Amino acid sequence: MLDFFISQYQNASFLQIILEFLVFVFGIASVVLAKKENIWVYPTGLIATVITTYLLYQAKYFGDMTMNAYYSLMSLYGWYKWSAKTNEPEIKITRTNMREKLIGLGLFGLTMVITYMVYKFFDYKLEIPNYIDIFTSGLFFTAMWYMALKKIENWTLWIIGDCIVVPLFAYRGLGMLSLQYFIFTILAVYGYLEWKKIILEKKV
């Protein structure tokens, strides 16, 4: 097991190792902060997604790179929505209504179409892992929008997506990312339970 994680970094530069370590740390910190409904979820998450975008560009994973660029933009949007400096009422943790469910479904479909087009633009030969990536991109992008609105369903989408990409990254030989998303899955379950508790307490 240890060889699996070490072997992929035998030919990696020191800069790449440092950047991947920063992504690992800031990515996990972001999920922990999201669970606690702390606005620092967005600056920490932004650092992770911006660095990941660069690393994926270097590795020529242009489809994944484009999605992480979208995640960076969504982090800025969420940061704005959660900020107390806006003139909008403070956002409370709630469940999605029918309108938000439909918008989420539309974002899910649109994101998959855009990701598919990115693969085609860079002349990718699409295989099963690529189609899985297209599907999880839709899940994650919609989850980020729901998180920006503090909708508990964001955790459900994170859990589903994380469970899918853990074996996918392992299959690709990306052991560190696989481990990171395994930890994300556990944290997302705790996040869901904590937000659910907050919703139930409001009803009492």
**Closest by Cα among 14, 99, 16 to 51:** 16
Q: Which residue has the tokens 């702390």?
A: 38
The whole-number pLDDT of residue 105 equals: 97
Q: Encode 43-56: b = buried (16+ Cβ within 10 Å), e = exposed.
A: bbbbbbbbbbbebb
Secondary structure letter of residue 125 according to DSSP: -
* Cβ-Cβ contacts under 8 Å for 56 (sequence gap 6 or more): 62, 64, 65, 68
Give CA–CA dist 131/116, Å, rounded.
8
Q: Which residue has the tokens 């902060």?
A: 33
* Cβ-Cβ contacts under 8 Å for 202 (sequence gap 6 or more): 92
**Closest by Cα among 199, 110, 89, 103 to 155:** 199
For residue range 157-194, list pLDDT tens digits in order: 999 999 998 888 777 766 777 888 899 899 999 999 99
Q: Encode 149-185: b = buried (16+ Cβ within 10 Å), e = exposed.
A: bbbbbbbebbbbbbebbbebbbeeebbbbbbbbbbbb
The whole-number pLDDT of residue 72 equals: 87
Secondary structure letter of residue 87 according to DSSP: S
The whole-number pLDDT of residue 1 equals: 58
Which amino acid is it at 59? A
pTM: 0.81
HSE of 1 in the Cβ direction (CA atoms, 13 Å)? 2
For residue range 69-117, list pLDDT tens digits in order: 888 888 888 888 888 665 556 788 999 999 999 999 999 999 999 888 8
Examine the pLDDT at 3 and tell me if it is beyond 80: no
